[in-house]
Amino acid sequence: MTQRLEVVNEVTIRFAGDSGDGMQITGDQFTNTSALVGNDLSTLPDFPAEIRAPAGTLAGVSSFQVHFSSFDIHTPGDSLDVLVAMNPAALKVNLGFVKPNGIIIANTAQFVSKNLRLAGYAEDPLQDGSLASYQVFPVNITELTAHALADIPDLTAREIERCKNFFALGIVFWLFHRPMEHTIRWIEDYFTKRRRPKYVAANVSALKGGAAFAEATELFATTYEVRPAPLQAGLYRNLTGNTGLALGLLAAATRSGLQLFYAGYPITPASAILHDLSGYKRFGVRTFQAEDEIAAAGAALGAAYGGALAVTGTSGPGIALKQETISLAVSVELPMVICNVQRGGPSTGLPTKTEQSDLFQAIVGRHGEAPLPVIAASRPSDCFDAAFEACRVAIKYMTPVILLSDGYIGQGSEPWRIPSVPDLPKIDVPERPAAEGFAPYLRDPDTYARPWAVPGSPGLEHRVGGLEKSDVNGHVSYAPDNHETMTLNRSKKVALVAREMPPLEVHGDPDGGKLLVLGWGSTYGAIRTAVERCREAGQSVSRAHLRWLNPLPEDLGDTLAKFERVLIPELNLGQLLTFVRAKYLIPAIGLHKVQGVPFTASEIQSAIEELL
Amino acid sequence: MRSAVASAGPALTRDDFQSDQDVRWCPGCGDYSILAQVQRVLPELGVPKENIVFISGIGCSSRFPYYMNTFGFHTIHGRAPAIATGLKLARPELDVWVVTGDGDALSIGGNHFVHLLRRNLDIRVLLFNNQIYGLTKGQYSPTSEQGKVTYSSPMGSIETPFNPMRVALGANASLVARSLDRDTKHLQMVLKRAHEHQGTAFVEIYQDCIVFNKDTFAPLTDRETKDDNVLYLEHGEPMVFGKERDKGIRLDGLQPRVISLTDGQHSVADLLIHDEHDRYGTLSDILATFQERVGFPRPVGIVRNIERVCYEDVMLEQIDKAMARSGPGDLAALLAEGDTWTVGPNGS
């Protein structure tokens, strides 16, 4: 049999197995290698909230999807070219996403009666002909891994079993002509650091064994190549949104000259920010794992009061707990950044899955009239920029800022063009006020910011608190007119942030047309792909993406008015939609999805086509 | 950690620590005395005024910062320890004081309170305990006695009260002290000792709420009765009390006993000797139980005073160590950490 090499532009692979099968590591390795060979890519990790759900069950399936291409892409892919199914449950959960004639690599060792029953299969799908419309490659990965590791001494059966994910990765590497050096280096590094040298040999043998098996058995008649994508010139790395966010905060600290203080309480999917920043001690970063979400917000506010660049991060339930403290930050007008890596709610909801349902909570979720700026990151690489911008605005306007990310972009990754540090804008920190004529609520006439008079400054001793303060001198005041003045001052200050926004970019027909798709946050990639596809097909559709959700850009109203219809896709039941309808009095149309997974481009495309 | 610098400027007086705000506690409230003793003690501490910060929660006691001419932050009900923690971590050189009450620290803020003591940041916590909710007009508090009749407990409170000292000891507080609003000299002494301490200093101050819980502590403060009801602790001294210094505390096995020094059977040599530095807190745990024992005097003074490393010192040590190990952070190098690749001008 002669093997055929086919060059394709894009491929979507999903590695799926039990929670303990190492699917996240496998996907990560494939992703990093794809990045290093120059593909554009986008990923979607998806795992259960339970650390080890019962083996073999549908609930225990963990997967990692990676979309890689030779052109510019923006989503982790709508449907799968390749599914690696390590057990029947993984097949059952993911089969519906596989393209017709797509490749399914199944570990036959797990297709035994108990696992078939757990997955709800009456018959073995590998045997009963039900997969006839796919290219199925049944491989006894477990047994072949054991053969590949036969020469390595002192391995238990369990240890051998745990190497099978690298055998599967070896097969897929070979199918797509990927080099293995990067992963071999990673295995060496990972297990050497953990003082497990025998696992280096074991996993490397499994990886090489998988590739050798695929080659020797001529498993695939066709192999595929995805060439590098033409990205903008520069130095690149693969970046998850959470790491990007942590780096953006650190960059803001560096460019402002302020000490970075981050307080958090462990919560999925935001913990990685705390982990990353805790590793940046050599930068002087001070991190604090608080006793609860409230304390994390309180500690951040205390640090802000002391003059630090103060940040707290969490997900939806944590934001609910922090809101009282955020209201105090609004009242005492101190700068801090509150990061919300959103997940499915309400309550504990879907801790490991994504959603955009905290927009209401971000904009109006406090008590009293407590406005603050809200910014949303649109993709993993944008988390860096959004974090930097959130810090800049917080300091300039002396206000808490909420930064919205979500599980999808927080945990997903894409190539990131590494910015040059000297090219990052400098963040100006307002000068300490002079003692002469100092008043704690004497505002900057331009920004409406009050002075940042930190403890330790002689002559600036003053008192602040949550009670209403008299304009200018900051003394406690319950005077009716003063409360209204102060409420309006706080509101006006936040409204001024609209000046920071560049003109809203309309991609498509800037002068208007039949349909505008308006997005915010992580719907960016799916909207962009859908609109580009529709425009290629000659349809009159444009798109715009909001970075700031509060205040809204000053030119948004005029932009919306230029279009006959406006479609707002959101991973919620219409939160931005409600604000847009209320503020601009237009019959904008919502597209909603609350399934814990991002939109596919096709879903948005269908909605566009229906409206045109 | 606090910077050891004494003020270089002219010596400060009590007046320097009075803010321009009218004090708005009820006339006769014990808070006035506490405020006065703090303002009397601060000039003697040698700390520049601008380095002193009072952080409070919510409640009558928590209005305290408004009346101090230092930095002050009146925050959220129960959250002062958390906010003080963030400030101290960002600015360890500051002299941070938390002012709180029994409801603020032990009810809504119980969690932050115990974690502050556990972490042992170098912060002073003054808990004004009046065993009642004053600002909300007289409901029972977590330190009110069982059976207390209030608006929210017309048939008597069902709850077993917290013993604040036991809570603090349970959280391994490194300094635990108690004093009384009316005993001004004693309170000044305790405040000074709390300030000298490196670590979280917890001071419970019995405070008279003259409106909603009047004279709760009268047996401990009235001239006629106080000596028979209060045990003034002094390190290294036997535990003697009573108007005629005629009573003492002896230990029988694990149980303390009040004994008479005039019955011809006991002498001072039989008495427990106070040891603030008892590492494992056996003695302080026993002293903390006195308030629940009928016929026992209430211990005041420094109950426990041990050395424990401060959280913020170790935090800074770790940062220094990380910098020493790998040099000060280079942001450009960090951004480009891990596997990178270069795309050329032609997109290759």
pLDDT digits (tens, 9 = 90+) for A453-468: 999 999 999 999 999 9
Identify the pLDDT of residue A58. 94
In angstroms, the separation between the Cα of residue A596 and the nearest Cα of chain B is: 31
pLDDT band at A159 (very low <50, low <70, confident <90, very high): very high
Q: What average pLDDT does this structure show over A540-560?
A: 98
Strands of B71-74's sheet in order across: A463-465, B71-74, B52-56, B95-101, B123-129, B201-206, B175-180, B298-305, B230-232
Distance of CA B104 to the CA centre of its chain: 13
- Give the closest of A282, A291, A307 to B111, CB-based: A291
Q: What average pLDDT does this structure show over B329-348?
A: 87
Residues 469 to 488 of A: which have CB under 8 A from any B CB? 475-476
- Cα gap B338→A370, rounded to integer Å: 42
Encode B139-168: b = buried (16+ Cβ within 10 Å), e = exposed: bbbbbbeeebebeebeeebebebbbbbbbb
| B33 vs A: CB within 8 A | no
- Cα gap B318→B324, rounded to integer Å: 10
Tell me the percentage of chain B whose pLDDT exceeds 90.
94
| A233 vs B: CB within 8 A | yes
User: How is residue B23 annotated by DSSP?
Assistant: P
Q: What average pLDDT does this structure show over A25-52?
A: 92
- Give the closest of B50, B83, B329 to A280, CB-based: B329
**Cβ distance A141 to A109 under 8 Å?**
yes
Strands of A98-107's sheet in order across: A40-46, A61-69, A10-18, A80-85, A98-107, A135-139
| A280 vs B: CB within 8 A | yes
- Give the closest of B66, B90, B91 to A476, CB-based: B66
- pLDDT for A63-102, tens place per residue? 999 999 999 999 999 999 999 999 999 999 999 999 999 9
pLDDT band at B264 (very low <50, low <70, confident <90, very high): very high
**Cβ distance B208 to B182 under 8 Å?**
yes
Read off the pTM: 0.95
Q: Does the pLDDT value for residue B7 go beyond 70? A: no
The DSSP bridge pattern shows strands A222-226 and A4-8 to be parallel
Size of interface A-B (CB pairs under 8 A): 221
pLDDT band at B338 (very low <50, low <70, confident <90, very high): confident
- pLDDT for A199-210, tens place per residue? 999 999 999 999
| B24 vs A: CB within 8 A | no
| A367 vs B: CB within 8 A | no
Q: What average pLDDT does this structure show over B30-53?
A: 96
Q: Does the pLDDT value for residue A432 go beyond 80? A: yes
**Cβ distance A367 to A330 under 8 Å?**
no
What's the mean per-residue pLDDT of chain B? 95
- pLDDT for A209-254, tens place per residue? 999 999 999 889 999 999 999 989 999 999 999 999 999 999 999 9
Q: Do B91 and A456 touch (CB under 8 A)?
A: yes
Amino acid symbol at A55 = A
Contacts of A276 in chain B (CB under 8 A): none
- Cα gap B338→B329, rounded to integer Å: 15
| B265 vs A: CB within 8 A | no
Q: What average pLDDT does this structure show over B327-342?
A: 93
Q: Does the pLDDT value for residue A2 go beyond 80? A: no
Q: What average pLDDT does this structure show over B135-158?
A: 95
Q: Does the pLDDT value for residue B348 go beyond 70? A: no
ipTM of predicted assembly, 2 dp? 0.96
Identify the pLDDT of residue B345. 81
Identify the pLDDT of residue B160. 96
Residues 48 to 87 of B: which have CB under 8 A from any A CB? 48-51, 53, 55, 58, 65-66, 68-76, 79, 81-87
pLDDT band at B3 (very low <50, low <70, confident <90, very high): low
Residues 307 to 326 of B: which have CB under 8 A from any A CB? 315, 318-319, 321-323, 325-326
Q: Does the pLDDT value for residue B1 go beyond 70? A: no
Q: Do B335 and A305 touch (CB under 8 A)?
A: no
Q: What average pLDDT does this structure show over A310-337?
A: 98
Residues whose CB is less than 8 angstroms from the CB of residue A480 and which lie 6 or more positions away in sequence, other chains included = none
The Cβ-side half-sphere exposure at A265, using a 13 Å CA radius, reads: 18
pLDDT band at B75 (very low <50, low <70, confident <90, very high): very high
Contacts of B65 in chain A (CB under 8 A): 463, 465
Identify the pLDDT of residue A50. 85
Q: Do B75 and A466 touch (CB under 8 A)?
A: yes
Tell me the percentage of chain B whose pLDDT exceeds 70.
97
| B8 vs A: CB within 8 A | no
Structure tokens at A422: 């000297």
- pLDDT for A587-604, tens place per residue? 999 999 999 999 999 999
Q: What average pLDDT does this structure show over A509-535?
A: 97
pLDDT band at B221 (very low <50, low <70, confident <90, very high): very high
**Cα Rg, chain A, nearest whole Å:** 26
Residues 12 to 41 of A: which have CB under 8 A from any B CB? 32, 35-36, 38
| A368 vs B: CB within 8 A | no
Structure tokens at A225: 């190549």
- pLDDT for A245-294, tens place per residue? 999 999 999 999 999 999 999 999 999 999 999 999 999 999 999 999 99
Q: What average pLDDT does this structure show over B273-301?
A: 96
Closest-CA residue to A545 (of A576, A502, A504, A512): A504
What backbone phi and psi angles, to 5 degrees, belong to B321? -65, -45
| B27 vs A: CB within 8 A | no
Q: Do B335 and A460 touch (CB under 8 A)?
A: no
- Cα gap B246→B292, rounded to integer Å: 22
Residues whose CB is less than 8 angstroms from the CB of residue A431 and which lie 6 or more positions away in sequence, other chains included = none
Residue B271: Cβ within 10 Å count: 19
Tell me the percentage of chain A whose pLDDT exceeds 70.
100
* Element containing residue A101 per DSSP (H, E): strand A98-107
**Cβ distance A190 to A48 under 8 Å?**
no
Identify the pLDDT of residue A218. 87
Q: What average pLDDT does this structure show over A183-202?
A: 93
Amino acid symbol at A467 = L
Contacts of B345 in chain A (CB under 8 A): 233
pLDDT band at B224 (very low <50, low <70, confident <90, very high): very high
Identify the pLDDT of residue A51. 81
Identify the pLDDT of residue A598. 96
Structure tokens at B110: 């119980």
What backbone phi and psi angles, to 5 degrees, belong to B133? -90, 110
pLDDT band at B5 (very low <50, low <70, confident <90, very high): low
What's the mean per-residue pLDDT of chain A? 96
Tell me the percentage of chain A whose pLDDT exceeds 90.
95
Contacts of B75 in chain A (CB under 8 A): 298, 301, 328, 465-466
Best probe of the B interface among A281, A332, A337, A413, by most B CBs < 10 A, is A281
| A461 vs B: CB within 8 A | yes
Residues A506-509: contacts with CB under 8 Å, at least 24 apart: A506/A542, A506/A543, A506/A544, A506/A559, A507/A531, A507/A542, A507/A543, A507/A544, A508/A535, A508/A540, A508/A541, A508/A542, A508/A543, A509/A540, A509/A542
Identify the pLDDT of residue A543. 98
Report the SS3 class of residue B126: strand
Contacts of A366 in chain B (CB under 8 A): none
| A425 vs B: CB within 8 A | no
Q: Does the pLDDT value for residue B9 go beyond 80? A: no
- pLDDT for A482-507, tens place per residue? 999 999 999 999 999 999 999 999 99
- pLDDT for A365-412, tens place per residue? 999 999 999 999 999 999 999 999 999 999 999 999 999 999 999 999
Place of tokens 């759900």: A53
Identify the pLDDT of residue A435. 95
- Nearest chain A alpha carbon to B324: A282
Residue A290: Cβ within 10 Å count: 24
- pLDDT for A106-157, tens place per residue? 999 999 999 999 999 999 999 999 999 999 999 999 999 999 999 998 999 9
In angstroms, the separation between the Cα of residue B263 and the nearest Cα of chain A is: 53
Amino acid symbol at A200 = V
Identify the pLDDT of residue A53. 83
- Give the closest of A38, A285, A302 to B341, CB-based: A38
In angstroms, the separation between the Cα of residue B257 and the nearest Cα of chain A is: 39
pLDDT band at B235 (very low <50, low <70, confident <90, very high): very high
Q: Do B89 and A261 touch (CB under 8 A)?
A: yes
Residues 181 to 210 of B: which have CB under 8 A from any A CB? none
Report the SS3 class of residue B203: strand
The Cβ-side half-sphere exposure at A249, using a 13 Å CA radius, reads: 33
- Give the closest of A234, A286, A292 to B343, CB-based: A234
Identify the pLDDT of residue B6. 52
